[in-house]
Amino acid sequence: MTNAAPHAPASGATTWRALFAEDGGDPLDACKNAPPLTQAITNAAQKFPSACWNDVESGCRDEVGKLLDLSVERVLFDGWMKLERFKKCVEESRGHPEDAFFQDLDDHEIASTHKPRIELRYGAVKVADLDFEIELALKVKGVRLEVRGGKVVCATAGVFSANAKLSLHDQVLVEKETPEFAAPAKIRFA
C-alpha cells in the first residue's frame, strides 16, 4: 500500500518519530486531522464502495503514522558521506582495517528530503495517490566520528537540534522543531 520508509530503521535505530515524540506521544497525531489530509482521504475513500470507506480512512491514517519511521542514523551517515574530508578518512581506513581513524566535524547542518507516496488500491486497480514530502534537518555541533575498515563505527557525543516538515500535495500538515539536546555518549552505526 505504501513505500513510505525507503530506508527502514535498523533494529534499535533512532527514528525521526522518536525525536519529535513529546511525552511519548505520536508527533503525527496533530496532522492526522489536518484539513488537507482529511479532505484527500475522504476524496480517495469515495472512490471505493461505501462499505470500504472506514477501512480506507483508518488504513490511510495508519500509513501516515509510519511516515516518520526513518532512521536518524541513516540521514546522518548519508549527509556525512557528502563531505570530502570524511570520504578521504573512510578511504584511508580501508587500507588499515585494524586501525581506528577519527574525524572531527565542525558545526554543520544535514538536510534530507523524502517523497513517500501512499497508493490506494481497490484490488489491482490504483484509485488514488497521496504524495507526501518530508523535509528533515539536523544541526550538529561537536561530533567526532570513528571509522574502521571503511565504515563508520560510531559518533561520539555532540549537541543536536532537529526540525521536520510534512506536507501533502504541497500543503504543510505539520512542522516540528526540537530544542538543542545532548546526544547519547556514542551513536553506534550498524
In this predicted structure, the answer to whether residue 16 has a pLDDT above a threshold of 70 is yes
66 located within any domain: yes
Q: Degrees (nearest 5) of the Cα angle 18, 24, 25?
A: 95
pTM for the structure as a whole: 0.76
9 located within any domain: no
Report residue 184's pLDDT band, with 50, 70 and 90 as the boundaries. Answer: confident
How far apart CA 55 and CA 29 sit, in angstroms, is: 18
Q: Which among 132, 152, 35 has a CA at the least distance from the CA of 43?
A: 35
| Domain containing residue 174 | 16-188
How far apart CA 143 and CA 170 sit, in angstroms, is: 34
Residue range 39-70, pLDDT digits in tens: 888 888 888 888 777 787 788 877 877 888 88
Residue range 107-116, pLDDT digits in tens: 999 999 999 9
- Mean pLDDT, range 179-188, rounded to an integer: 81
How far apart CA 140 and CA 65 sit, in angstroms, is: 26
Task: Mention every residue, 6+ apart, whose C-beta is less than 8 A from residue 54.
Answer: none
81 located within any domain: yes
114 located within any domain: yes
Strand partners, 187: 155
127 located within any domain: yes
88 located within any domain: yes
Residue range 87-143, pLDDT digits in tens: 899 999 999 999 999 999 889 999 999 999 888 888 888 888 889 999 999 999 988
5 located within any domain: no
Number of domains composing the chain: 1
68 located within any domain: yes
